[in-house]
């Protein structure tokens, strides 16, 4: 088969099936079911929706080990060698990414495979008669929420991308629809999907039995972030409108919280495996199954450096997930998030900082490192800091600071009015905008947020200047001097570009 069997051919494949277990992690082969005649009962639809969530888990999609496509692109982490075994991954942090990078292609394919699963549900759900139409609407809402989330990843990473909302039945259909759609059309589809999803029977927040599924709090949070991101590229009048929309949806999500104060939830509790289903700060998570060799979490073991035991009972022989010295230095004195998130590994073969934010040293995870961490995609500290950001953008600094302080107080940090009187703090973060960006960095470190935060807060020119102004010694082996305007976006994977060099045009600079 020709190169059409890459991303767009995935758009006519089947989606996976899963069991009906509460955590939907007892999975069968996601490509083993024929598309023809698959939807016959409500149970078939439920299995297909579960298959959408299952597809998120992989390192090539947006699961716990997908940091290569965001954190390693940022200034928070990255590989400190460029030997042959790390050559292609090294390109992300080194700003030397090539269109033929196989990791990049795998990421693109995985994202579109998830979209395909969403499209299959949405295009075929009407074949089934539901006893309760609210259940049907709920399944549609879940599929639209995930489709919007994945397109949000695509449009921020690549800009114009193919926009597909249906399944194709022929090669001719695929060829006609193989083209990059303009960003504004992609964003229009994202906001339409999310607003449709809000008009459903989904709960404000999922109960314990529904953890890992979409909720209205999650939809509102994502919609707010989408508008906040859209505002960065709009003219003044439309920017103001987008910021107001962002504030509305983020506030709606915030008002759905069930805790009184963020400081009532200890920072470490957010990442405590034993509390992952009951922690009130978590809005949306990808569920992993502790002790199961196929569906367990591996982030704790993977992050741990040689000679260390803080993350996992599995001994490490490598350097774990490296934290950049640039990030380590950004933590303020006394910030409890530093001691929880990073540690220095003194082993001679490491001699560097590594990530300790994800831990599971329980006997259930064992010496094989079959951890139970869930991957948190949304939590309230993120929403609170986005509310600080949008209010600052709207010129309401007082409200912005009140949100910023919620996060700082929980971290045992002085409130902003006190912090800004400190000469070091005011020198590093002379504006409220930079103070909020700093807070997001140390609060949400290694949660795959940083690269997107930088893209949202800086123009392309500012982004290049920002990186080139850093101390190379604090950044690592990757060369800061490599960054240029082209690095605002990833290159279109070479195989996808070659499908039609005109309609799948390459991003500038590649």
Helical spans, DSSP H, in 177-316: 183-198, 216-230, 236-254, 267-270, 299-303
Please spell the DSSP secondary structure of 123-175, one letter per residue. Answer: HHGGGS--SSHHHHHHHHHHHHHHHHHHHHHHHHHHSSB----S---SHHHHH
Please tell me whether the overall predicted TM-score, pTM, comes out greater than 0.75 for this model. yes
pLDDT digits (tens, 9 = 90+) for 406-433: 999 999 999 999 999 999 999 999 999 9
H/E run at residue 466: helix 460-468
Bigger pLDDT: 9 vs 80: 80
Out of 15-19, 440-444, 476-480, the most confident range is: 440-444
Supply the mean pLDDT for the chain. Answer: 92
pLDDT digits (tens, 9 = 90+) for 202-214: 999 999 999 999 9
Cα separation, 152 vs 96, whole angstroms: 24
Nearest C-alpha neighbor of 59 from the set 23, 106, 94: 106
- Mean pLDDT on 378-403: 98
* Other residues' Cβ atoms within 10 Å of the Cβ of residue 351: 12
pLDDT digits (tens, 9 = 90+) for 156-172: 999 999 999 998 777 88
Residues with Cβ within 8 Å of 314's Cβ and at least 6 positions away in sequence, in order, are 301, 304, 366, 367, 368, 369
- Residue 244 gets which letter from DSSP? H
| Residues paired with residue 353 on neighbouring β-strands, in sequence order | 344
pLDDT digits (tens, 9 = 90+) for 314-337: 999 999 999 999 999 999 999 999
**Pairing relationship of beta strands 375-379 and 282-286 according to DSSP bridges:** antiparallel
| Residues paired with residue 282 on neighbouring β-strands, in sequence order | 379
pLDDT digits (tens, 9 = 90+) for 243-255: 999 999 999 999 9
Q: Are 475 and 498 in contact (CB under 8 A)?
A: no
Domains of the chain: 1-202 (1.25.40.390), 205-262+379-457 (1.25.40.900), 288-373 (no CATH), 460-489 (no CATH)
- Mean pLDDT on 79-86: 72
Q: Which residues in 309-422 belong to E strands, given as ranges?
A: 342-345, 352-355, 375-379
Please tell me whether residue 459 adopts helix, strand or coil conformation. Answer: coil
For position 80, what pLDDT does the model report?
85
Q: Are 362 and 372 in contact (CB under 8 A)?
A: yes
State percent of the chain over pLDDT 90. Answer: 88
For position 95, what pLDDT does the model report?
97
8 pLDDT more than 60:
no
Cα separation, 310 vs 123, whole angstroms: 47
Q: Which two tokens stand for residue 146?
A: 């995930």
13 pLDDT more than 80:
no
Instruction: List Cα–Cα distances, 424 to 54, 85, 327, 338, 410, in angstroms.
Output: 46, 40, 16, 18, 21
Bigger pLDDT: 13 vs 312: 312
pLDDT digits (tens, 9 = 90+) for 108-165: 999 999 999 999 999 999 999 999 999 999 999 999 999 999 999 999 999 999 999 9
pLDDT digits (tens, 9 = 90+) for 421-475: 999 999 999 999 999 999 999 999 999 999 999 999 999 999 999 999 999 999 9
- Residue 316 gets which letter from DSSP? P
For position 84, what pLDDT does the model report?
59
- Residue 179 gets which letter from DSSP? S
For position 408, what pLDDT does the model report?
98
For position 36, what pLDDT does the model report?
55
H/E run at residue 451: helix 450-457
Backbone conformation region of residue 159, classed left if phi is above 0, alpha if psi is from -120 to 50, else beta: left
């Amino acid at each position: 088969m020709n190169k059409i069997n890459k991303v767009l051919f995935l758009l006519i494949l089947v989606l996976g099936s899963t069991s009906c277990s509460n955590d939907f992690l007892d999975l069968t082969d996601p490509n083993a079911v024929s598309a023809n005649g698959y939807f016959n009962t409500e149970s078939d639809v439920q299995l297909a929706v579960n298959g959408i969530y299952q597809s998120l888990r992989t390192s090539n999609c947006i699961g716990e080990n997908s940091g290569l496509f965001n954190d390693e692109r940022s200034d928070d982490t990255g590989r400190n060698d460029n030997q042959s075994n790390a050559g292609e991954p090294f390109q992300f942090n080194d700003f030397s990414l090539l269109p033929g990078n196989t990791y990049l292609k795998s990421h693109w394919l995985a994202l579109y495979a998830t979209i395909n699963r969403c499209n299959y549900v949405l295009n075929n759900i009407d074949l089934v008669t539901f006893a309760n139409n609210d259940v049907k609407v709920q399944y549609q809402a879940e599929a639209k929420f995930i489709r919007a989330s994945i397109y949000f990843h695509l449009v921020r990473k690549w800009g114009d991308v193919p926009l597909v909302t249906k399944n194709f039945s022929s090669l001719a259909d695929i060829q006609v629809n193989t083209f990059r759609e303009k960003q504004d059309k992609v964003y229009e589809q994202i906001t339409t999907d999310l607003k449709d999803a809000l008009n459903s029977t989904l709960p404000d927040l999922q109960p314990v039995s529904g953890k890992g599924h979409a909720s209205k709090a999650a939809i509102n949070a994502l919609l707010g972030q989408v508008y906040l991101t859209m505002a960065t590229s709009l003219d003044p009048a439309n920017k103001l409108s987008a910021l107001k929309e962002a504030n509305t949806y983020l506030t709606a999500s915030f008002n759905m919280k069930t805790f009184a104060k963020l400081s009532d939830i200890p920072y470490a509790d957010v990442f405590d495996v034993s509390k992952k289903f009951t922690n009130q700060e978590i809005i949306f998570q990808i569920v992993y199954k502790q002790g199961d060799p196929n569906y367990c979490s591996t982030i704790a073991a993977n992050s741990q450096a040689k000679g260390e035991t803080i993350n996992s009972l599995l001994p490490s022989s490598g350097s774990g997930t490296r934290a950049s010295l640039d990030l380590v230095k950004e933590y303020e004195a006394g910030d409890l998030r530093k001691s929880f998130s990073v540690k220095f590994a003194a082993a001679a073969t490491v001699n560097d900082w590594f990530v300790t934010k994800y831990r599971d040293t329980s006997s259930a995870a064992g010496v094989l490192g079959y951890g139970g961490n869930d991957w948190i995609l949304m939590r309230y500290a993120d929403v609170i800091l986005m509310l600080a950001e949008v209010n600052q953008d709207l010129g309401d600094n007082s409200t912005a600071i009140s949100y910023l302080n919620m996060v700082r107080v929980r971290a045992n940090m002085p409130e902003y009015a006190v912090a800004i009187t400190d000469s070091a703090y005011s020198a590093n973060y002379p504006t409220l905008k930079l103070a909020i960006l700093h807070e997001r960095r140390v609060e949400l470190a290694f949660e795959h947020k940083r690269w997107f935060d930088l893209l949202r807060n800086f123009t392309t020119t500012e982004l290049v200047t920002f990186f080139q102004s850093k101390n190379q010694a604090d950044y690592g082996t990757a060369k800061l001097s490599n960054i240029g305007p082209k690095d605002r976006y990833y290159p279109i994977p070479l195989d996808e570009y070659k499908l039609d060099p005109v309609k799948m045009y390459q991003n500038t600079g590649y």
